[in-house]
Amino acid sequence: MLTDTIAAIATPAGEGGIAVIRVSGPDSVELSDRIFSFKGKLQDVPTHTVHYGHIVHPSTGERIEEVLVTVMRAPRSFTMEDVVEINCHGGIISVKKVLDLVLEQGVRLAEPGEFTKRAYLNGRIDLTQAEAVIDLIRAKSDRAFKIALKQVEGTLSKQVKVLRHGLVELMAHIEVNIDYPEHDVEELTSNYIQDKCSESIAEVERLLRTAEQGKILREGIVTAIVGRPNVGKSSLLNALAQENKAIVTDIPGTTRDVIEEYVNLNGIPLKLLDTAGLRETEDVVERIGVERSRNALTDADLILLVLNRSEPLHEEEYRLIEEVRDKQSIAVLNKSDLPPTADLSYIKERFPEDRIVMMSVKENEGLDRLGKAIGELFFGGQLESNDMTYVSNVRHIHLLKQALRSLEEGRSAAEQRIPIDMIQIDIRSAWESLGELVGDSVGESLIDQIFSQFCLGK
Ligand code: GDP
Ligand code: ZN
C-alpha cells in the first residue's frame, strides 16, 4: 500500500487565496512532469525548489491553471517520500480540475489522514505527534493550538520515553537479583523497587493531573451564565463575545434558547451557555428555557452567577447562591456603575474573595478581573507556564492510568515482599502501556482508527 502515489487538496475547502494539492509517493515527480509545463523537467530540479509554470492537459494542450510547484525529495519531506506540492491560485473549481488531471495520471486520491499516516509508518513522527496533528487541525484557541504544537514537537513522547527508560533500568536491576535468592539481597531489592515505583507513579500522576487542564484548554471550559432576569447575563455574554449574538432587551426573560458560543478570555477558551434565567414562571416558552438552563447548570464546568449589585438580593437569588456556592462558581456582581444596594456581606460570607468579581458590563469594566479569577480557579494561576505539557488525548489518558495501576500493584507487591520475579510482571506491563502510548507496540487496526479521524489532505 505504501508503494503507490497519492494526492489530495491540502488546504481547507472554500474560498481562499491559494489552494495546495499535495502529491506523495515514488511516482509523484514523474507523474507531475506529464502535466506541468515550465522551462525544464521536474525530474532534473534540485530538491526543495519552487518552479513557476502552467498545468497543461497532456493530450489537448489546454492551459488549465497558472501554478507554483515545489519538489521535495525523500526522505526530507513530511511523508519521507517524494512529494510534489502544486500551489494553485484560482478558486475551488480550477483546483478540482488540476486534481482530476493529477488523478488521471494514475495517482490515487488519498484517504483522510493518509499523509500523516505515511509520516508515521515511515518513522518521521511517533503516534503522539500524529495525534497532535489531529488536535492542531481542530484546535479552538491559541493555547490549544500551542499545546498541540508542543506535542508535534514531541514533548510528551520525550517525557514518556524517560519514564520507560527508568522502568527498563529497574527491570534490569530486578533481573540481576532474581538469581540471588539470599534474604538480605531480596530485602534490599524490594525497598529499591518501592522507591523506583513511587518515583514513576509520581511522574505518571503529574502527567495525569495535566490532563484535566489539557482537556479544558482544548475543548473550552463549559460555562453557564446564570442569574435572575435583567441582571445583565446577555450583556455579559455579548461583552465576552464582542458581538451581538444573543438578544439583549429590557424585557425580563427574553433570552429563551441556550445559545452556545466559544469565547477566548485572557487565553482561556470558554464554551458559554447563556440561559433564560432561573425564574419560576407560567410562561411555556420561558419554562422550556428554564429547564434547559437547569441542565446547563449540571453540565457546566464553571458557573458565573450574575447578581445585580444595585438591587437588594431577591428570594430566588438566595436559593441560587446556595445551589452554586459549592461548585466551581464565581459571583459576578454586575452594575457596579450604579450605587450598591445588595447585601455584600451576605455574599462575602458565602464566596471566598477570589471568587467574587465586581464589574460593570455597561461601562466595559472588570472583564479582565473575571478572566484572572477564572484562571486562578482552574489553573491556580499557573496558566502562563507555556512549556508545560498537557496530556489531552483520551487514548493517552487511558494508557497512563493503566500504567499507573500496574506500577501501584508492583509497589504494593514489593511492600508485601512478594517474590520479585512476580513484581517484574507488573513493571513490564507498565512499560508496555507506556510503549503503546508512543506507538511502539500498536496493532494495525488502532493505527487505522487514529488516522481516519483526520480530514482529507492531511
Ligand atoms: P439578562 O436578562 O440577565 O440577560 O440581562 P440583559 O443583559 O438583557 O440586561 C438587562 C438590562 O441591564 C439592559 O438594559 C442592560 O443594558 C442593563 N445592564 C447590563 N449590564 C449593566 C451594567 O453593568 N450597568 C448598568 N447600569 N446596566 C446594565
Ligand atoms: Zn438575557
Condensed to tens digits (0 to 9), the pLDDT of residues 337-369 reads 999 887 889 999 999 999 999 999 999 999 989
Instruction: Indicate whether residue 371 lines ligand 1 (CB < 6 A).
Output: no
The one-letter amino acid code at 338 reads: L
84 marked ligand binding residue: no
Quick one: average pLDDT of 378-382?
Answer: 68
* Ligand 2 centroid – CA 370 distance (Å): 19
Which ligand sits nearest to residue 256's alpha carbon?
A: 2
Taken in order of first residue, the domains within the chain and their CATH numbers are 6-126 (3.30.1360.120), 133-216+393-438 (1.20.120.430), 222-379 (3.40.50.300)
Closest among 269, 263, 216 to 237, alpha carbons compared: 263
Mutate which of 226, 230, 234, 235 for ligand 1? The one with the most ligand atoms within 8 Å of its CB, which is 235
Helix residue ranges per DSSP H, 65-182:
92-104, 114-121, 127-138, 142-153, 155-178
- Decide which of 186 and 425 is more confident: 425
47 marked ligand binding residue: no
Highest mean pLDDT among 82-96, 99-113, 283-297, 355-369: 355-369
Quick one: average pLDDT of 194-209?
Answer: 92
Instruction: Indicate whether residue 289 lines ligand 1 (CB < 6 A).
Output: no
Instruction: Indicate whether residue 255 lines ligand 1 (CB < 6 A).
Output: yes
Q: Is the pLDDT of residue 26 over 90?
A: yes
Are 275 and 292 spatial neighbours (Cβ–Cβ below 8 Å)? Answer: yes
Taking the alpha carbons at both ends of the chain, their separation in whole angstroms is 17
Question: What pairing do the DSSP bridges indicate for beta strands 6-9 and 83-88?
Answer: unpaired
Instruction: Indicate whether residue 244 lines ligand 1 (CB < 6 A).
Output: no
Task: Flag the least confident range among 54-68, 259-273, 355-369, 440-454.
Answer: 440-454
Q: CA-CA distances (angstroms) from residue 281 to 191, 249, 252, 277? A: 66, 18, 11, 10
Mutate which of 228, 230, 281 for ligand 1? The one with the most ligand atoms within 8 Å of its CB, which is 230
249 marked ligand binding residue: yes
Closest among 85, 72, 68, 99 to 20, alpha carbons compared: 85
235 marked ligand binding residue: yes
* Ligand 1 centroid – CA 277 distance (Å): 13
Q: Is the pLDDT of residue 243 over 60?
A: no
**365 secondary structure, DSSP code:** B
Instruction: Indicate whether residue 335 lines ligand 1 (CB < 6 A).
Output: yes
Question: What pairing do the DSSP bridges indicate for beta strands 259-265 and 268-274?
Answer: antiparallel
Q: Is the pLDDT of residue 398 over 70?
A: yes
Which ligand sits nearest to residue 233's alpha carbon?
A: 1
Residue 284's pLDDT band, with cuts at 50, 70 and 90, is very low
Supply the mean pLDDT for the chain. Answer: 81
276 marked ligand binding residue: yes
Give the closest residue (by CA) to ligand 1 atom 17: 232
Residue 231 CA, closest ligand 1 atom number: 3
Residue 377's pLDDT band, with cuts at 50, 70 and 90, is confident
Cell of 419: 517474590
Task: Quick: pLDDT tens for 162-171.
Answer: 999 889 888 8
Are 337 and 365 spatial neighbours (Cβ–Cβ below 8 Å)? Answer: yes
Quick one: average pLDDT of 233-255?
Answer: 59
Residue 203 belongs to what H/E stretch? helix 183-219
- Decide which of 183 and 50 is more confident: 50
- Decide which of 36 and 424 is more confident: 36
3-state secondary structure of 24: strand
Residue 316's pLDDT band, with cuts at 50, 70 and 90, is confident
Are 361 and 239 spatial neighbours (Cβ–Cβ below 8 Å)? Answer: yes
Whose grid coordinates read 435583567? Answer: 230
* Ligand 1 centroid – CA 5 distance (Å): 60
Nearby residues of 425 by Cβ (< 8 Å), 6 or more positions away = none
255 marked ligand binding residue: yes
At residue 51, the pLDDT reads 94
Instruction: Indicate whether residue 250 lines ligand 1 (CB < 6 A).
Output: yes
At residue 254, the pLDDT reads 45
Instruction: Indicate whether residue 232 lines ligand 1 (CB < 6 A).
Output: yes
* Ligand 2 centroid – CA 229 distance (Å): 7
**pTM to 2 decimal places:** 0.52
Task: Flag the least confident range among 123-132, 194-203, 315-324.
Answer: 123-132
Instruction: Indicate whether residue 337 lines ligand 1 (CB < 6 A).
Output: yes
Cell of 47: 530538491
Q: CA-CA distances (angstroms) from residue 139 to 10, 184, 215, 392? A: 17, 55, 11, 12
Which ligand sits nearest to residue 311's alpha carbon?
A: 1
22 marked ligand binding residue: yes
At residue 210, the pLDDT reads 78
Residue 247 CA, closest ligand 1 atom number: 8
Are 346 and 322 spatial neighbours (Cβ–Cβ below 8 Å)? Answer: no
Helix residue ranges per DSSP H, 333-388:
344-350, 367-379
* Ligand 1 centroid – CA 313 distance (Å): 16
Residue 238 CA, closest ligand 1 atom number: 7
Instruction: Indicate whether residue 235 lines ligand 1 (CB < 6 A).
Output: yes
Q: Is the pLDDT of residue 309 over 50?
A: yes
Q: Is the pLDDT of residue 228 over 70?
A: yes
Quick one: average pLDDT of 32-46?
Answer: 95
